[in-house]
């Protein structure tokens, strides 16, 4: 760690931050490189928290993203257990919760997001699943033998439902939408996925947001927006995320539901960059700033920022978005992005069989694809999306495959 | 000729690599590690294989360029 301003500091040692460090070395940067993280043991396989690590009978720690040796070989100094508390853009310092002031020439903000809290009327935040520490708490719910009510029907909620059912836990899922993930997947796939959960014994309360949660001697009374109430013994909340920007408020770095960056990852402050879940990046194809919360996006964008700094470039990151989710042993792969009002066309297999390739688009524009089972279609569709192909091209490629 | 290898001591067989390049990586049912299904990589494979190397949470993949 240096108090000079000649080095590069990365805040956040997870997917985006560690990839930015690798990108810097790959791009030829040989100077001091420090990565700070508030967690004591940061940088682990976060997507597994809601999947096999929750389903496992025995506690298994999430895999570390880097070994000590890998970091040492690249001369990356990891300072774990030190959180960034403030940023001084004039003196080019990051201030930590341990009282240090660390100088930088370039700074990469990669502090990700936190689970959006749901707080009871008594002021207690409900458990969520985002970190290594959360996993330990949620695993206790799974072994209590008591029913669990999941608040929120997004990816994490559905994956947790599947993992808990595989352990025989009684699960009720509360979801604000009429169907879980209908926006991302389209109704046809969402109906199938909902059916898969029903067949595996999950109970649903659909179509009403959680309005208020009150603690009771037995657990919780959950009041829904439509006036219904649900009693719960144990709860787990998964209603979305909030960018971890607290430490940047008032710093001069532009914030708007995340750290605002251009397509290359630069913020409004010279020398300050952002990558990963926290970055609200200019998306040329949609012509607006937006965040992506996906593993490969965090890695690829982090690397791109590292390369840009090392090479003195401002190359845009414009990869085709990719995200997967695993439920009941089936993996859904989503490429690109389905948009509201899109038509969903099965180009291979059958949705009800859980073995399909579905493309999403309007008129003649291809926006995305959802694939289950037939992984060989992934690369063809990725290439079509990258080439901004039409829906017809996608239909044609399936016919010729 | 480039090729890619899997470190069996590190791989967790979850298959993020398969989602990125399914013609090069596979996790057969019951296999404790990912397997490489294309020994010699083509030009067209490289970009996605490099992405898989970076995305692998266990850092179990190694690209040997040649
Ligand atoms: C349960 C779960 C399941 C998921 N499953 C999938 C999936 O199947 N597929 C997929 O594509 N994506 C999935 N994701 C999303 C994926 O994990 C994220 O997109 C990815 O982790 C983002 O990486 P990041 O580095 O941007 O942020 P994060 O992983 O959130 O890391 C941010 C880091 O910054 C640190 N930090 C925060 N504030 C400070 C501070 N002030 N000072 C210092 N350090 C700080 C944190 O401790 C953390 O280590 C899942 C996420 C969760 C929570
Ligand atoms: S992504 Fe890495 S750990 Fe996962 S299956 Fe592939 S090689 Fe193994």
Domains of chain A by range and CATH?
8-114+242-311 (3.50.50.60), 132-239 (3.50.50.60), 329-400 (3.30.390.30)
How near does any CA of chain B get to the CA of A353, in Å?
Answer: 19
Mean pLDDT across the stretch A7-22?
Answer: 98
Residue A399 has pLDDT above 70, yes or no: no
3-class SS shares of chain A: helix, strand, coil, % to 5: 30, 30, 40
Residue A186 has pLDDT above 70, yes or no: yes
The helix/strand/coil state of A154 is coil
In chain A, % of residues over pLDDT 90:
93
CATH 3.30.70.20 fits B3-64, yes or no: yes
Which residues on A lie below 8 Å from B58 (Cβ)?
A: 45, 63
- The reply to whether residue A67 touches residue B59, judged by beta carbons under 8 angstroms, is yes
**Contact B7/A at CB under 8 A:** no
Tell me which residue has its CA closest to atom 15 in ligand 1: A294
Instruction: Supply the pLDDT for residue A401.
Output: 55
How near does any CA of chain A get to the CA of B52, in Å?
Answer: 9
Instruction: Supply the pLDDT for residue B1.
Output: 84
Q: What is the CA radius of gyration of chain A?
A: 22
How many other C-beta atoms are found inside a 10 Å radius of the C-beta of residue A102? 23
The helix/strand/coil state of A169 is coil
Tell me which residue has its CA closest to atom 8 in ligand 2: B11
Q: Each residue of A241-262: pLDDT tens digit?
A: 999 999 999 999 999 999 999 9
Task: Name the residue in chain A with its Cα closest to that of B12.
Answer: A63
Substitution site in A23, A111, A133 for ligand 1 pocket (most atoms within 8 Å of beta carbon): A111
* Pairing mode, strands A322-327 and A330-336: antiparallel
Q: Each residue of A364-395: pLDDT tens digit?
A: 899 999 999 999 999 999 999 999 999 988 88
Instruction: Supply the pLDDT for residue A4.
Output: 66
- The reply to whether residue A63 touches residue B12, judged by beta carbons under 8 angstroms, is yes
- The pTM assigned to this predicted structure is 0.96
Phi, psi dihedral angles at A265 (to 5 degrees):
100, 5
Residue A113 to residue A236: CA distance in whole angstroms: 18
- Minimal Cβ distance to B19: which of A45, A303, A333: A333
Residue A398 has pLDDT above 70, yes or no: no
- The reply to whether residue A300 touches residue B51, judged by beta carbons under 8 angstroms, is yes
Q: In which residue ranges of chain B is pLDDT below 50?
A: none
Instruction: Supply the pLDDT for residue B5.
Output: 97
- Ligand 2 centroid to B31 CA: how many Å? 12
Instruction: Supply the pLDDT for residue A364.
Output: 85
* Pairing mode, strands A33-37 and A8-11: parallel
Q: What is the CA radius of gyration of chain B?
A: 11
| Alpha helix (H) residue ranges in A117-235 | 132-143, 155-166, 182-185, 187-199
Instruction: Supply the pLDDT for residue A395.
Output: 87
Q: Each residue of A126-168: pLDDT tens digit?
A: 999 999 999 999 999 888 889 999 999 999 999 999 999 999 9
CB-CB contact of A47 with A296 (8 Å) = no
Residue A317 to residue B55: CA distance in whole angstroms: 16
How many other C-beta atoms are found inside a 10 Å radius of the C-beta of residue A247? 20
Which residues on B lie below 8 Å from A19 (Cβ)?
A: 54
How many other C-beta atoms are found inside a 10 Å radius of the C-beta of residue A124? 12
Every domain of chain B and the residues it spans? 3-64
Average pLDDT across chain A, whole number? 95
Residues 265-304 of A with CB under 8 A from B: 295-296, 299-300, 303
Q: Each residue of A41-89: pLDDT tens digit?
A: 999 999 999 999 999 999 999 999 999 999 999 999 999 999 999 999 9
Instruction: Supply the pLDDT for residue B66.
Output: 81
Strand order in the sheet with A259-261: A259-261, A279-283, A288-290
Please spell the DSSP secondary structure of A92-129, one letter per residue.
Answer: TEEEETTS-EEE-SEEEE---EEEPP-B-TTSPBPP--
- The reply to whether residue A48 touches residue B14, judged by beta carbons under 8 angstroms, is yes
In chain A, % of residues over pLDDT 70:
98
Residues with CB under 6 A from ligand 1: A 11-17, 36-39, 42, 46-47, 49-50, 83-84, 110-113, 129-130, 156, 244, 247, 276-277, 293-295, 298, 323-325
- Ligand 1 centroid to A112 CA: how many Å? 5
- The reply to whether residue B57 touches residue A65, judged by beta carbons under 8 angstroms, is yes
- Ligand 1 centroid to A101 CA: how many Å? 25
- Ligand 2 centroid to B35 CA: how many Å? 9
In this structure, which ligand is nearest to the CA of A47?
1
**Contact B33/A at CB under 8 A:** no
The closest alpha carbon to A20, from A359, A309, A326, A370, belongs to A309
ipTM comes to 0.95
Which residues on B lie below 8 Å from A67 (Cβ)?
A: 59
Instruction: Supply the pLDDT for residue A208.
Output: 87
Residue A90 has pLDDT above 90, yes or no: yes
């Amino acid at each position: 760690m240096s108090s000079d301003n000649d080095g590069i500091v990365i805040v956040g040692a997870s997917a985006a931050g560690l990839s930015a460090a690798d990108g810097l070395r790959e791009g030829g940067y040989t100077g001091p490189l420090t990565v700070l993280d508030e967690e004591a043991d940061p940088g682990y396989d976060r997507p597994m928290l809601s999947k096999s690590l929750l389903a496992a009978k025995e506690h298994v720690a999430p895999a570390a993203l880097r070994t000590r040796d890998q970091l040492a070989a690249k001369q990356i100094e990891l300072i774990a257990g030190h959180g960034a508390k403030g940023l001084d853009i004039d003196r080019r310092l990051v201030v930590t919760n341990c009282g240090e002031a660390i100088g930088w020439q370039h700074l990469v903000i990669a502090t990700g997001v936190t689970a959006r809290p749901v707080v009871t009327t008594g002021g207690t935040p409900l458990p969520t699943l985002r970190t290594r520490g959360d996993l330990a708490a949620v695993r206790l719910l799974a072994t209590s033998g008591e029913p669990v009510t999941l608040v929120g029907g997004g990816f994490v909620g559905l994956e947790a439902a599947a993992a808990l059912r595989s352990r025989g836990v009684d699960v009720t899922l509360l979801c604000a939408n009429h169907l879980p993930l209908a926006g991302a997947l389209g109704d046809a796939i969402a109906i199938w996925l909902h059916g898969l959960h029903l067949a595996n014994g999950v109970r649903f309360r659909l179509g009403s947001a959680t309005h208020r949660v009150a603690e009771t001697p037995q657990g919780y009374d959950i009041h829904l927006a439509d006036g219904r109430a649900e009693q719960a013994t144990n709860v787990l909340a998964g209603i979305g995320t909030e960018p971890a920007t607290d430490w940047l408020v008032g710093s001069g770095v532009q914030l708007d539901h995340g750290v605002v960056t251009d397509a290359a990852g630069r913020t409004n402050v010279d020398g300050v960059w952002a990558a990963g879940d926290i970055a609200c990046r200019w998306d040329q194809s949609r012509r607006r700033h937006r965040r992506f919360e996906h593993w490969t996006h965090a890695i690829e964008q982090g690397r791109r920022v590292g390369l840009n700094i090392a090479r003195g470039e401002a190359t845009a990151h414009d990869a085709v978005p990719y995200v997967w989710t695993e439920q009941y042993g089936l993996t859904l792969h989503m490429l690109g992005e389905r948009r509201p009002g899109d038509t969903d066309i099965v180009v291979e297999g059958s949705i009800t069989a859980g073995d399909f390739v579905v493309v999403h688009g309007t008129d003649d524009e291809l926006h995305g694809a959802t694939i289950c089972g037939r992984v060989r279609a992934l690369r063809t569709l990725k290439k079509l999306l990258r080439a901004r192909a039409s829906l017809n091209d996608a239909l044609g490629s399936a016919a010729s495959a | 000729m480039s090729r890619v290898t899997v470190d069996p001591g590190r791989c967790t067989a979850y298959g993020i690599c398969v989602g990125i390049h399914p013609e090069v990586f596979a996790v057969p049912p019951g296999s404790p590690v990912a397997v490489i299904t294309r020994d010699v990589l083509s030009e067209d494979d490289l970009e996605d294989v490099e992405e898989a190397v970076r995305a692998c949470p266990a850092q179990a993949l190694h690209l040997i360029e040649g």
